[in-house]
């Protein structure tokens, strides 16, 4: 789990706790309808944020991310609703359940960078619960004075902006550390048969051979594989029974089948794809053109 995801989880826990405490203190000022809306809003947004986060972190294990996402949403929605009464609690629980479930599915399906945009969006909405509470409570000037700080717009927007920017910087750090190793990619050319542990791997295909024959990558870390076909005949690279997430691929790939990674390169052409693999293990890759695998066009992908 990256710093960014930890930060998001800490933040939504904080927001939930704060909202629940606020609800406990100010429940007298809420109509039953307002209480239900606040519980629904909190449960849904916390569930969605947590769901997408867990869906991204635990790629390939939708069951776990759904349970964790729903757990977050249900606890937040149910406890917040409990301050207002049974119906609000029910509303919060169901919203949390639905948010967590939908979030986990989203996190599982969309690429990590898009998921991060959604996480930020729902994080902002989760934040808004606090403001919604102040707006929805029937104003009674005697007790509202404690909430003065919420009404100082400059201070509040600086605070919220600062918190979100800090989260953004965590995400940037991650992106930078990802970009760095790419500069070392040329090394794999000089020393073809050694194991490569970098973010871009160039595999040359000539005389019915892959070179290098072994790739070593990390679990859940995007990797770009470039196939350089220097032969006069077409070749490809296929891995079967592998749980992966496609980030991008150069066009006309026919990678439609589930759990099959496939990359094709025309004679004297180069093609590439970027993906991450969700499970550790050793996978065999091979060429699907008839006769090539049997002639030794096989290799190994190790996922650590």
Residues that bind Cu ion (CB under 5 A): 235, 287, 289, 292, 297
Q: Between 58 and 285, whose beta carbon lies closer to Cu ion? A: 285
How far, in Å, CA of 278 to CA of 299, rounded? 19
Residue closer to Cu ion by CB (options 228, 235) is 235
Count CA atoms within 13 Å of residue 179 on its CB side.
6
In whole angstroms, how close is the CB of 243 to Cu ion at the nearest point? 25
Closer to Cu ion by CB, 57 or 225: give it. 225
Q: Which of 170, 165, 158 is nearest to 53 (CA)?
A: 170
Of 2 and 211, CB closest to Cu ion = 211
CB of 16 or CB of 229, closer to Cu ion: 229
In three-state form (DSSP H/G/I as H, E/B as E, the rest C), the secondary structure along 53-93 is: HHHHHCCCCHHHHHHHHHHHHHHHHHHHHHCCCHHHHHHHH
Q: How far is the CB of 210 from Cu ion (least distance, A)?
A: 9
At closest approach, how far in Å is the CB of 301 from Cu ion? Answer: 17
CB of 237 to Cu ion, least distance (A): 9
Identify the three-state secondary structure at position 31. coil
- Give me the half-sphere count of Cα atoms (radius 13 Å) on the Cβ side of residue 237: 29
Q: How far is the CB of 293 from Cu ion (least distance, A)?
A: 8
Vertex 140 angle, CA 154 and 39, to 5° = 75
Residue 242 to residue 221: CA distance in whole angstroms: 15
Burial environment of residue 146 by CB neighbours within 10 A (0 to 12, 13 to 18, 19 or more): exposed
Q: Which residue's beta carbon is nearest to the bound Cu ion?
A: 287
Which C-beta is closer to Cu ion: that of 245 or that of 292? 292
Output phi, psi for 171, to 5 deg: -70, -40
- Minimum distance between the CB of residue 236 and Cu ion, rounded to whole angstroms? 6
């Amino acid at each position: 789990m990256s710093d960014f995801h930890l930060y998001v989880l800490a933040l939504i826990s904080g927001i939930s706790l704060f909202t629940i405490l606020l609800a406990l203190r100010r429940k007298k000022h809420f109509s039953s309808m307002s209480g239900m809306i606040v519980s629904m809003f909190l449960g849904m947004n916390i569930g969605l944020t947590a769901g997408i986060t867990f869906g991204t972190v635990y790629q390939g294990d939708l069951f776990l991310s759904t349970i964790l996402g729903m757990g977050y949403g249900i606890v937040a929605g149910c406890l917040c609703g409990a301050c207002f009464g049974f119906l609000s609690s029910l509303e919060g629980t169901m919203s949390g359940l639905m948010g967590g479930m939908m979030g986990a599915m989203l996190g599982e399906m969309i690429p990590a960078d898009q998921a991060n945009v959604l996480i930020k969006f729902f994080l902002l909405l989760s934040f808004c619960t606090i403001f919604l509470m102040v707006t929805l409570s029937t104003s009674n000037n005697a007790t509202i004075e404690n909430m003065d700080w919420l009404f100082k717009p400059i201070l509040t927007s600086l605070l919220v902006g600062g918190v979100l920017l800090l989260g953004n910087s965590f995400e940037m750090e991650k992106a930078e550390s990802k970009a760095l190793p790419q500069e070392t990619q040329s090394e794999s050319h000089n020393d073809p048969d050694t194991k490569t542990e970098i973010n871009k791997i160039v595999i040359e295909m000539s005389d019915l051979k892959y070179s290098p024959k072994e790739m070593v990558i990390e679990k859940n870390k995007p990797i770009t594989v470039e196939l350089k076909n220097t032969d006069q005949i077409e070749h490809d690279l296929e891995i079967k029974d592998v749980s992966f997430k496609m980030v991008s691929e150069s066009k006309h790939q026919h990678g439609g089948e589930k759990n099959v990674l496939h990359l094709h390169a025309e004679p004297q052409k180069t093609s590439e794809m970027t993906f991450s693999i969700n499970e550790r293990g050793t996978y065999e890759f091979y060429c699907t053109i008839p006769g090539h695998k049997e002639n030794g066009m096989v290799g190994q992908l190790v996922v650590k």
